[in-house]
Amino acid sequence: MHTRSIRSKTTSFLCKRAFYVFSIAALALGLSGCGYNTMVAMREQINAAWAQVENQLQRRNDLIPNLVEVTKGYAAHEREVFESIANARSKLIGAGNRGEQIEAANVRPSL
């Protein structure tokens, strides 16, 4: 009789242990699925953020030719202004009498 009670206790202990192991395995399996979904969602967020970076880089790249054209236009305008100022100064310096100096001083460079 004593052996029988030891066997039933051992069997009961093994059943409880198997139940605990199965419960922990089921819980781990369930939580791992949530973790996988989280990783997929994070990867999608990263891809979306990187797409925004690529869009901004493409936009900047598209604006560079416009910037070059604006710079060329301003350089031409600046050259005209400096040439006009240089011509006005040379007329003022080259003026021989007072009337030519007054006339040269009243000349407005085209800006």
Domain range annotation of the chain: 2-106
Contacts of 95 (CB under 8 A, 6+ apart): 101, 103, 104
Distance CA 32, CA 41 (A): 14
Distance CA 16, CA 44 (A): 42
Distance CA 49, CA 59 (A): 15
Quick one: what percent of the chain has pLDDT higher than 70?
83
Predicted confidence (pLDDT) at residue 9 exceeds the cutoff of 70: no
pTM passes above 0.85: no
Top-confidence residue, 109 or 24? 24
What's the whole-number mean pLDDT along residues 2-31? 72
Top-confidence residue, 83 or 34? 83
Predicted confidence (pLDDT) at residue 4 exceeds the cutoff of 80: no
Question: What is the pLDDT confidence band of residue 1, given thresholds at 50, 70 and 90?
Answer: very low
